[in-house]
Structure 1
Amino acid sequence: MNAGPHETGDGPPSGGIKGDPPFKDADTPEQSPGPASDPEESSDPDDDSGPPEPDDDSGPPEPATDPEKPPELDDIPRILLFMRPGRNRELLTAALSERYAVETTTDVETLESTFDCCVFDAHEFTRVAGTIQPRRALAAPVFLPFVLLVGDDTAPMRDHAWEHVDDIVELPVRKRALRSRIANLVERRRTSLRLAERERRLTETVADLRLKERAMDEAPVGITVAESGEGENPLVYTNHGFETLTGYGSEMFGADCRFLQGTETDPDTRAEIRAALDEEQPISTDILNYRRNGQTFWNRLTIAPLRDEHDEVTHYVGFQTDITDRKIRERRLEVMGRVLNHNLRNKMNLIDGYAELLRSTVDDEASQEPLDIISETADDLMRIAETVRKIDHALAETPSADSATDLTERLPELVSRMSDRYPDATFSLSLPDASLDVTVVGLVTAIEEAVENAVKHNDRTEPTVAVRVERRGPEWIAIEIEDDGPGIPDHEVHVLGHGETNLTHADRLGIWLMYWVVNKAGGEFSVSADDGGTTIGLSVPIDP
């Protein structure tokens, strides 16, 4: 079964290899030098009784299905036989095909393809040896094995060959020994692929962690991480934003974040935070804290538990935002609201009362007219104060499922009140057949404001107002209030999107009330007006 030295019809190159010896007979002692040799016995591949029997009963390996392995490991290993056609290549193909996907070639471009081991005969190795190292470099850092098959007459080239290949197999060789040596190299290759894939994933994980750490470090808010503990939650991380906000940094690691609290910190807020931590629940609250230099600041504090794979709380992450300016603005608005709702109302009532007393002391019409102007002005200011109070009340509520309002019940009541208040006006109402529960804060107040304004600013003797409500999909509703009045002036609508100035401003607070209610709910507010009237549109989610 020995292949002759000129089986391809081409003679060997000058000084080259004369031919490749065959596989070894079963009764011939084996010679298997090289780093991966295996003395294991096997059947004779020259036996004409049929193809060689597999070394075990497992048959060809099943493709890997482990999702953690790289895609290359899901396929049967691919062996590239870079050998001249002939009996040796046929025998080697038959011996390896039981376990591997074998491809035969003498095309040097095939070396650029993906394979798990390449086996050369001496002739082809001599021809393409210079391409092996560049191919290894292309596969790096993954191990890519190359094997050279040699005979006794090629001994002088072995030392040189070891610079290029990972194993040199002397022919003749037993089938089992050859397959064992090929298997060792393929397994090294597979292990290398696994390690390279793990290294790639580790690199990606490290890069991802560094990105997240950089994002936390550079975030414009304070971020802290503290360990979970009984009564104490020692800090293990603070970002740059926390140090900028408080003046404290890594020197506070190991201390509980209560060092930010002081004598003016509300004890109820302290207790609320402690209770949330004890119950392993998230919490958001406003708390008065102290910087390192003793300066106070209002902190919007949000704390959330971090759980491990066993759902056990191991740490807490905290976010701190300086809201001092917002708190001052809120307090200023509270004071201004009290002045409008209490002081101004009392003063206007006093002015209106004295105007009525003066009215009873004069009889001529010329004297009555200034008193009428005083009373009308006082009434206007009282209405402004009432609108401010209404706006504050409507927007101060917090939406919840418990506070849902059924518009199919509330709006008929509203229209009935308006009909009693304005008997000369005509009102119509269109509602969906089914109930319509919404949690939009202040929505009924906004609708009432739109309906009442439609009547009050209508110069017709018998104004008409139509209210239409319909669903827009499962999560949104659309409300329209249409009247036949003179229309809202353009500048009143313009300021909603561009803001007010001393020269350009709205004369009515009511339109701001409607706009703010819709805006807070994340909806859309629209006004369309012409000589035939005005249509106010309020499109809002049912449960913002």
Structure 2
Amino acid sequence: MADDRSPNRLASGGRGAGEVPLPERGATTVTVAVPDGRDQQLLTETLSEYELRRVEDGISEGTDICVVGVGQLDDCRTRIRDWKRSERPAMAPVLLLVPDSVSDPWSQHAGEFGDVIDGIIRIPASKRAIRSHVDGLMAVRQYSLVAARRWERLELYSRAMDNADIGISIADARAEGAPLIYVNRGFVDLTGYSLPEVLGRNCRFLQGDGTDETTVTQLREALEAREPVSVVIRNYRKSGEPFWNQLDIVPVYDDGGTVTHFLGFQRDVTEEIERKRLLEQYEHVFESVSDPVVVLRADTTVVHANGAAIDVFGAGFAGPEPTVLADRLPTELAAIVRRACRIVVETGQTQERELSLSVPTGQKRTFQVKFEHESVSERDGDHIIAIARDISAIREQQGRLTVLDRVLRHNLRNRLTVISGQAEYVTTHADELDPSALADSAGAIQAASDDLLDIVDTVRQFEIGRNPEKSSDPLDVPTLVRSAVSTLRAEYPEIEFSVDGPTTARARCPPQLELCLEQLVERAVDGWERPSGRFAVRIVDDPSNDTVRVRVEVPGMEFSEIALSALEAGSETPLEHTQGIRLWLVKWAVENASGWVSLENTESGGVVILSFQRDAETGSRQTH
């Protein structure tokens, strides 16, 4: 915003830009057209400090002033006019030498002033007078060069500002309200207001209900302090449409250091702001989802990974050093991932793969991974988003249901065989059976039916197939164990039960813990000829291993190799399966609480150990 006296302020944007200085005399070129003889000799002596040229070959480039004798004017008139035209808008001064004998030469040549000549001097004249005329015209010439350069610069600035894609405005800082005195085409296109609607007004007319007052205050305080300011502000077009305006304002100073104008630049950044907000939303979703998400390059180099992915692959997975996902996987899985990424890049088609990985906790987890072409950001090159859904619980539940189906079918088939056989026997021999034999068959049918109902009721109580998620509620283990033992003592008075361990020990155990103990006892009792014996239950609170264990000793019971291997593997084969459902139900209930079951055969009998994750916030109290 420089005033007319210093247009070069716009170029420097600062204070104290100096004027173009006048050149030294030795740097001034004078072309002369005078006859040989005394006049030429006088000029040569008088203007010896200047660079002198002859006019015979025309007025050469670089000439600052011409000195022409009146007798040579006609011959030089065309060349003088051409020279003057080529120098515009700068002045090309011509000094005419007129003999003293010519009366009133100014009136005689009045029509040629400015067009052909710019000054007249009578000769003979003193050297001082000649130099004074030449220096005077040279000063005008130099100031005209300064003005021409300023004009060219202003023309350049004007064209640049008028044709700029962004909005440019100039406000008068000296006038009340800092009204706009100039806006370019970009400003008009940006706001929708015409020049007459804009000039003379303060830029505040672009603000509206949605404009942030804090930003407005920041702008006002910066302008009052005559300081540069840069903000993103919500403005409104003439149509009422809101847009985000990247507004930069800089003060412009005069030679005295006073701010005279404000130069403003306006740029519509609505798309950038909205895209940034969208990316922030995606980033928030990316980081907050519980599923592992990884952004990969085509070679499986990790570009970004969310917290869930870092939990799966370890703390160094998305560190400062480049990580290649395939290098973190076993050879077989690495080949699967590379192939999926290659197909996505080459075809753009989404790929799905199922991968089983060992996580840092040592657990084996199964993930369904979807590989998709990434299109949210503007990253260079091909990128793939890999979204992993942990389906371990689903696969575990499917495995449980498979075992449950096989065991139930086996048990149901055995019981139904009994029922069917006894029913057929009764039907076939109805006329031959005495009441005692008929009662025996009915009893067998009743017992088999009761077994079936018991199996169905037990499965229902364990809720197998309905809740694959891990339980995380800590419960007091001794309280549940003692409650279960109290029930068992009432049901089996002939059996001796003992409980040893702390009175309090909280752990993450299944709510069906009492049912688990009842099923273990019932499984053992089923193998006895008469319900008598001894069960020893010991509770162990082990802070060093963060576990609470329930150890159940069953004298006289021995686990088969099939039962031991099947429960350890977590599955059965069609040809090798356990006879009962009770151990499976106990195992699944415990594992659903992130615990584990182990079986042992000792010299005195079988041992079942139920281990649970200890609640670290609570201690235990020992009793016997």
TM-score by length of 2: 0.39
Structure of larger gyration radius: 2
User: Which of the two has greater strand per residue?
Assistant: 2
TM-score by length of 1: 0.44
